[in-house]
């Protein structure tokens, strides 16, 4: 091996060699070895240095012992941790199972409630229909915008004269209101139902068999407040005024109709109630 090759080899290893040489430099390189039996000069062996050396040695031993104990204890620690984790997993599994059971229960309850809702939807629809029909039949109190027709006998009209409001007049007015789309009509607080008669008994007009006294106040729910001049009601009232001098007025406003007294059928059975409702519905145009 020539010098150049050796130098190149040394250069190639130089960095690593230098690194290792520095890294592993002997701490005691500057201390000359002593001969056999030779002792250090006293200045090098003063008491504090020896004490510190002992202390360092104690620390080193302590560190070693602690390291061993820690390494050995870590097995116990691992086992403990493992056992604890197992325990925790088991506990959490139980919790998860409970939650799953809760979820299943809640899901079943939701299903049941949905089914109930579906079932009750039909019932609700029926109830809605019943309520609607009851309003139309006059069996339920209703309130809302409408018109109030007030009509009175002609001033100074005598009993038996034609200048008084007759049952027939009220019937025509009521029919005109029905035709205008009234959803409910009451005369002097007597709700008209499909079975309500407007008739006279002597000088009195009976509505639902109750005698009324003038002026007659006919409340109609749901009729348009804007009355066309050529409507049946207008023509009728104009005719009554011009022919018989009956004072009348039509006022739009909110009306509140009481529930009518639809008597319990004596002949019809409960099973025929549907047909009866149809009749009542048919009475409202």
Partner 1 sequence: MIAVIGLLAGIALGLLWHPVVPVWAEPYLPIAIVAAMDAVVGGIRALIERRFDERIFVISFLSNVLIAAFLVFLGDQLGVGAQISTGVVVVLAMRIFANAAAIRRLLFRA
Q: Which of 1, 4, 5, 32 binds partner 1 (CB under 8 A)?
A: 32
Which tokens belong to 194? 């499909």
Closer Cβ to partner 1, 31 or 85, answer by number: 31
Q: Which of 1, 4, 16, 33 binds partner 1 (CB under 8 A)?
A: 33
Which tokens belong to 191? 């709700």
Q: Which of 18, 31, 83, 110 binds partner 1 (CB under 8 A)?
A: 31
Q: Which of 70, 107, 114, 249 binds partner 1 (CB under 8 A)?
A: 70
Query: In angstroms, rounded to a whole number, what is the distance separating the alpha carbons of residues 140 and 186?
Result: 12
Q: Which of 6, 7, 18, 69 binds partner 1 (CB under 8 A)?
A: 69
Q: How far is the CB of 55 from partner 1 (least distance, A)?
A: 7
Contact range with partner 1 by CB under 8 A, out of 56-64, 113-121, 153-161, 225-233: 56-64
Tell whether residue 50 is a contact of partner 1 (CB under 8 A).
yes
Closer Cβ to partner 1, 42 or 271, answer by number: 42
Strand order in the sheet with 190-191: 190-191, 184-187, 216-221, 142-152, 247-257
Return residues touching partner 1 (CB under 8 A): 20, 23-24, 26-28, 31-36, 38, 40, 44-45, 49-50, 52-67, 69-70
């Amino acid at each position: 091996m020539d010098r150049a090759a050796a130098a190149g080899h040394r250069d190639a290893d130089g960095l690593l060699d230098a690194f290792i040489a520095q890294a592993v430099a002997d701490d005691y390189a500057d201390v000359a070895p002593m001969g056999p039996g030779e002792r250090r000069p006293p200045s090098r062996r003063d008491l504090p240095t020896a004490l510190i050396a002992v202390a360092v040695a104690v620390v080193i031993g302590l560190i070693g012992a602690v390291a061993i104990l820690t390494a050995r204890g870590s097995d116990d620690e691992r086992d403990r941790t493992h056992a604890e984790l197992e325990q925790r997993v088991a506990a959490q599994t139980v919790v998860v199972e409970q939650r799953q059971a809760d979820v299943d229960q809640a899901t079943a309850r939701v299903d049941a409630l949905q089914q109930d809702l579906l079932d009750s939807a039909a019932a609700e629809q029926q109830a809605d229909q019943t309520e609607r029909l009851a309003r139309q039949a006059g069996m339920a109190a209703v309130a809302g915008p409408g018109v109030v027709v007030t009509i009175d006998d002609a001033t100074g009209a005598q009993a038996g004269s034609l200048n008084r409001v007759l049952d027939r007049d009220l019937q025509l007015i009521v029919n005109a209101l029905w035709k205008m789309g009234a959803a409910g009509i009451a005369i002097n607080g007597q709700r008209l139902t499909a079975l309500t008669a407007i008739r006279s008994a002597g000088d009195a007009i009976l509505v639902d068999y109750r005698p009324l006294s003038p002026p007659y106040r006919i409340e109609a729910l749901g009729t348009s407040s804007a009355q066309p001049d050529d409507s049946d009601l207008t023509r009728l009232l104009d005719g009554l005024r011009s022919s018989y001098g009956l004072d009348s007025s039509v006022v739009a406003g909110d009306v509140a109709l009481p529930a009518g007294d639809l008597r319990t059928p004596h002949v019809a059975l409960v099973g025929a109630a549907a047909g009866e409702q149809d009749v009542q519905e048919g009475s409202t145009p």
